[in-house]
Amino acid sequence: MSNAAYELLTEENPDIKVTVGSSGTGGGFEKFCAGETDISDASRPIKADEEAPACKKSGVEYTELQVATDALTVVVNKDLDVDCLTTDQLVKLWGPGSKVNNWNQLDPKFPDEKVSLFGPGTDSGTYDYMAADVIGDESEKTRDDYEASEDDNVLVQGVENTKGASGYFGYTYYEENADKLKALAIDDGKGCVKPSAETAQAGEYTPLARPLFIYVSNKAYTDNKAVKAYTDFYIDNLETIAEAAKFIPLNEEDYDKTKSTLESIS
């Protein structure tokens, strides 16, 4: 969401210059915890066993601010006659060491069609969320025999142009390409639920709805007027920024919590 915040900020304050870099969540935390950046976007919480100790070692104290909600979206080629997966089937398809290579291995009613998979690389927070929170494997890995890219547009093109293909990425990229792909509903035991802003905010789209964050260096926020101004602007305009970035804005309760957390930085 940094690009959306930057564009809004510079429209209103053309003299302000902000450097925005791109990487996966893991790569972003690596730079943040080394003190190379002041604010880091994240599509998952910081890892308590790896990244948080790296920040502590470097003396980087930080504050976590939830800024939006996303719905991890599993998509398939539009011509594939599959509309819903149970979470068990999703785990069977994407779990580490999976040997599923035909859709009818998941369900005999599914078509006799070769499975081709596309997904984010291992440096991505989206990958981390799928591995740890959806699949729930202790190794925090998915199967590795798929076409990987950190560019979601590459994943979209792969699924669109490959018969029998499936992939996953954030809800925004599905919305932008809904005419090219089919989003699968997910059945977590209460029936098939399609991804949407409404189902994600209501807690119905489980377990694929996830919070999105920014992490702010406390020292940078208190000592650097530009960092404080940028962060304050970001949170004050959070709904507009989330919508511009095509994520799902926070509900009132979660926004109040984020605002209160920001005000507590000292």
Q: Is 48 left (phi over 0), alpha (psi -120 to 50) or beta?
A: alpha
Does residue 121 sit in the same domain as residue 143?
A: yes
Q: Do 88 and 150 sit in the same domain of this protein?
A: yes
Tens digits of residue pLDDT in 1-34: 666 665 666 666 666 666 777 777 888 999 999 9
Q: Position of tokens 């890219």?
A: 149
CA gyration radius, the chain: 19
Domain hosting residue 124, numbered range: 73-201
Among 148, 175, 201, the domain boundary falls at 201
CA distance 2 to 41: 7
Q: What's the rounded Cα separation, in Å, for the pair 167 and 155?
A: 7
pLDDT digits (tens, 9 = 90+) for 111-122: 999 999 999 999
Residue 157's CATH number: 3.40.190.10
Domain annotation covers residue 46: yes
Structure pTM? 0.70
Residue 151 resides in a domain: yes
What are 42-95's pLDDT values in tens digits?
988 999 999 999 999 999 999 999 999 989 999 999 999 999 999 999 999 999
- The residues near 195 (Cβ < 8 Å, ≥ 6 apart) are 71, 72, 73, 171, 174, 183, 185, 186, 205, 208, 209
Residue 91 covered by a domain:
yes
How many domains in the chain? 2
d(CA 205, CA 227): 35
| Residue 133 and residue 46 in one domain | no
Both 102 and 125 in one domain: the answer is yes
Give the list of residues 6+ apart from residue 121 with CB closer than 8 angstroms, or none. 24, 127, 148, 149, 150
- Residue 40 pLDDT greater than 60, yes or no: yes
Residue 23 in any domain: the answer is yes
196 shares a domain with 80: yes
Q: Can you give the pLDDT at residue 197?
A: 83
Nearest CA to 136 out of 84, 185, 91 is that of 91
Q: Where are the beta strands (DSSP E) in 123-175?
A: 147-148, 165-169
- Return the structure tokens found at 108: 């005999």
**Residue 206 domain-assigned (yes or no):** no
Are 146 and 121 contained in the same domain? yes
- Cα–Cα distances (Å) from 160 to 74, 75, 121, 157, 183, in that order, read 13, 9, 19, 5, 12
What is residue 5's predicted lDDT score, i.e. its pLDDT?
A: 61
Residues 52 and 83 in one domain: no
- Taking alpha carbons only, the member of 4, 95, 38 closest to residue 215 is 38
- Tell whether 196 and 217 lie within a shared domain: no
Could you report the per-residue pLDDT of 94-113, keeping only the tens digit for each? 999 999 999 999 999 999 99
Please list the residues that pair with 64 across neighbouring strands: 215
Do 159 and 182 sit in the same domain of this protein? Answer: yes
Q: Residue 251 carries which DSSP code?
A: P
Tell me what pLDDT residue 23 has: 72
Identify whether 100 is part of a domain.
yes
Residue 113 resides in a domain: yes
> pLDDT category, 168, cuts 50, 70, 90?
very high
Please give the structure tokens belonging to residue 259. 């605002």
> Is 82 within 8 Å of 89 (Cβ atoms)?
no
Report yes or no: 26 and 198 within 8 Å, Cβ to Cβ. no
Q: Are residues 109 and 183 in the same domain?
A: yes
Q: Does residue 104 lie in a domain region?
A: yes
Q: Same domain for 102 and 137?
A: yes
Same domain, yes or no, for 197 and 163? yes
What pLDDT is attached to residue 260?
97
Rounded to an integer, what distance in angstroms lies between the CA atom of residue 225 and that of residue 215?
A: 17
Q: Looking at the predicted structure, is the pLDDT value of residue 138 above 80?
A: no
From 155, 179, 201, the end of a domain falls on 201
